[in-house]
Amino acid sequence: MQVDGIEKEILVGLSEKLVMTKQEITNLIESKNENSSSGLDNALKSLLEKGYVTNITPLGSSSYAVTTKEIKAARQ
């Protein structure tokens, strides 16, 4: 798995909960790193492109879920 920094923190959080809203991810990142919210959107976009997370929108709110690809990669 070729992720580090904010991407890795997002994946660790998602691996524990499986589904998180964007606000929950933002809170997680901000609690660990100050001034990291600027890179959050880029990190989420990168993880989406790599296929490690997927975007879901239940009732209009933006949420992210871990994919089986990420679970398999994390086990290696």
Question: Can you name the CATH fold of 6-75?
Answer: Arc Repressor Mutant, subunit A (1.10.10)
Residue tagged 């660990």 (tokens)? 32
Q: Return the beta strands (E) in the chain as ranges.
A: 19-21, 53-56, 63-66
Domain locations in the chain?
Answer: 6-75
The whole-number pLDDT of residue 35 equals 57
pTM for the model stands at 0.81
Model confidence pLDDT, tens digit, residues 7-64: 888 888 888 899 999 999 999 888 876 656 668 888 999 999 999 999 998 777 789 9
